[in-house]
Structures are given as C-alpha cells and as structure tokens.
Structure 1
Amino acid sequence: MTRVVAQGTFDLLHPGHVHYLSDAATYGDELHVIVARSGNVTHKDPPILCDRQRRDMVAALDVVDEARLGHESDIFVPIEQIGPDVIVLGYDQHHDEEAIAGALAERGIDCRVERASGREKRYEDELLSTGAIVDRVLDERCDPSE
C-alpha cells in the first residue's frame, strides 16, 4: 500500500484545495493530510479559521483518509509517525522540493517528494485562493463609509 502525505494551511477551503488533495490522492492508496497549526504559519497572514475547524473541514473530504494537525514545533514529527512513501506539495506552496528531500534523508525518512498540478479557473469569477476570497469579502461586504 502506498501512503501519501499532503500538507498545508487549508484556510477557507476552496476548489484549489480540493484539486490539490484530489491530485495528491492519485499518487497512492491512502492520503494523509497534515494541517498546519496557526502558530506555525509564518510565510503569510495567519489563518482566519481555528486549527481544529480547518482540520475537520479537510477530514470531511472523501478523498482524505486521515487529517491531523501538525506538530507544534517540528514539522517532521507527523511525517515520521505516518511513514509516507510520497509527499505531494501543492503546486504553489513555497517549499523547495530538494530542501525537503534533503531534510527527509537526514532524518532517515525514505520517501519521494512530488509537486501537485495546478488548477485552472473554470469560470471567470471563480476564486482559487484564500487571499482572493478574503479580498472579495472585504470588497463586497465592507462599507467604506464606516
């Protein structure tokens, strides 16, 4: 059985997330998803939704076999616990495949690192990023006179 890991923040779940996880699932038989804890999200604005809610939303997707929160201080702890054969990164995630592969090798974790495909918009006003969703909410729901 081929075990796959995908990871991310998954704030305000959207079609881009669903595509990423569906694509990741094609790399094996079992998809485990690690949802980043809010305190570990330092490369972008912090998540709007709490950790458990984001994990629960990801776990509700049929393509996901298990969703768990990441470790508070060491991102590799859940990977060691899961023992994946493949780690699939999102197409636009900031991670460097070679650096991750090197860190995995240093820890004795034998798995390959792949990059998921991107998803094209299917219609003009479709939103495929949390930032774009937040921007639209602010544009359409905030009264500039307040």
Structure 2
Amino acid sequence: MTCMLADWRQATAKVRAWQRQGARVVFTNGCFDLLHPGHVDYLEKAQALGERLVVGLNDDASVRRLKGPTRPINPLADRARMLGALRCIDLVVPFSEDTPLALIRMLSPDILVKGGDYRVDAIVGADVVRARGGRVVVLPFLAGYSSSALIRRICERCGCDERA
C-alpha cells in the first residue's frame, strides 16, 4: 500500500473513486507531532474498520493555535512523511482550520473515527457523517502514550524547559 499526500481536490476525487469501487473510507484527524506507538495502534485500529484510511493532518499554524507557540516540534512536511510511511494509511490531507469539519464535509467518509474519551455527539463532523448513513466510532487510546507526555519526559531527562 502506498500512501499519498493530497490536497483537498485530489483527496475528494480519490475518496469518491474508492467509494464507487465499494470501499468503505475511514477518516480520522490529528496533529500527530512526535509519532509514537499510541498513534500507530490507533491508526491501525481505525484502518481495520474499513478498506481505506484517510488522515486529516493539522498544518503548523493550526497546531500552534491548538497546542501553543512551541508546537509542533516537527513541521507539517515531516509529520506527513512519517504518517505516509505507515502501511495502514492510504491518504494524508493537510488542513489549516482548527477543526476538520469542512474537510469532512468535502470528503464524505463512510466512517469517522476519533480517539480517547469523546462522546459521539461531541465529535466534530459526526452529524455530517451520520446524516449520510455513515458510522462514528470512538477508539480508546493506548494507555501511557501522548506526544505531550513524550516532550515532558525528554525535557525532564535533558534538564530543559518544555516551554522553550
């Protein structure tokens, strides 16, 4: 399986083609800064829900607004490259908004997946996916993994300030 980085127009065309072929398209999104085993576990489980996995990836400005001025650690191109190396991902689509709602509307995935302790009705885009007969799934995170915790651990071991 080869992953591709696509703009919204390319991604929409690809998703429509897969759906015409009968593939269930799964969508998830995130910052994916400092890729770790928790991310990989989550993405593999998301992909297993359908035949194709599309990952919406927050761009650098969006990550800064969501996570603070010292993030992301890795720029968009590097984060996309890391995700693209995972066999479970078919398509990576960057977005600049704080939420993926517009991208979800455009792509119309069959299955929307979020990780953690979200309530389905609180997931951005859940109403859009459900309105067209799709499913919304919440997958638990693999305990003990987070990019923020990884940054803290590195800083503790190196004696640096994680806000620097």
Give the 3 Å change call, closer, same or farther, for CA 23–142 of structure 1 in structure 2.
Answer: same
Q: Does 1:16 align with 2:38?
A: yes
Q: Does 1:4 align with 2:4?
A: no
CA RMSD between the two structures: 2.5
Give the 3 Å change call, closer, same or farther, for CA 143–56 of structure 1 in structure 2.
Answer: closer
Q: State the distance in 2 between where 1:143 and 1:72 align.
A: 31
Q: Does 1:80 align with 2:105?
A: yes
Provide the secondary structure at the position in 2 that maps to 1:57.
helix
4+ aligned runs moved over 3 Å, structure 1: 71-74
1:110 is displaced (CA, Å) by 4.7
- Letter paired with 1:3: V
Residue in structure 1 matched with residue 9 of structure 2 by the alignment: none
Provide the secondary structure at the position in 1 that maps to 2:112.
strand
Q: Which has the higher helix share?
A: 2
- Report the TM-score when normalising by structure 1: 0.77
The superposition leaves residues 71-114 of structure 1 with CA deviations (integer Å, 9 ceiling, x where unpaired) of: 4476223223332100100125xx55213323x269x6553211
Provide the secondary structure at the position in 2 that maps to 1:136.
helix
- Letter paired with 1:111: G
Q: State the distance in 1 between where 2:95 and 2:77 align.
A: 11
Q: What percentage of residue pairs aligned between the two structures are identical?
A: 30
Q: State the distance in 1 between where 2:51 and 2:84 align.
A: 16
Residue in structure 2 matched with residue 97 of structure 1 by the alignment: 120
Unpaired runs of 5+ residues, structure 2, are 1-22
Unpaired runs of 5+ residues, structure 1, are 122-127
- Report the TM-score when normalising by structure 2: 0.70
1:44 is displaced (CA, Å) by 2.8
1:113 counterpart (129, 136, 153): 136
Q: State the distance in 2 between where 1:105 and 1:24 align.
A: 15
Q: Does 1:69 align with 2:94?
A: yes
Give the 3 Å change call, closer, same or farther, for CA 74–138 of structure 1 in structure 2.
Answer: closer
1:131 is displaced (CA, Å) by 1.3
Residue in structure 1 matched with residue 150 of structure 2 by the alignment: 133
Q: State the distance in 1 between where 2:160 and 2:134 align.
A: 50
Give the 3 Å change call, closer, same or farther, for CA 78–137 of structure 1 in structure 2.
Answer: same
Give the 3 Å change call, closer, same or farther, for CA 74–143 of structure 1 in structure 2.
Answer: closer
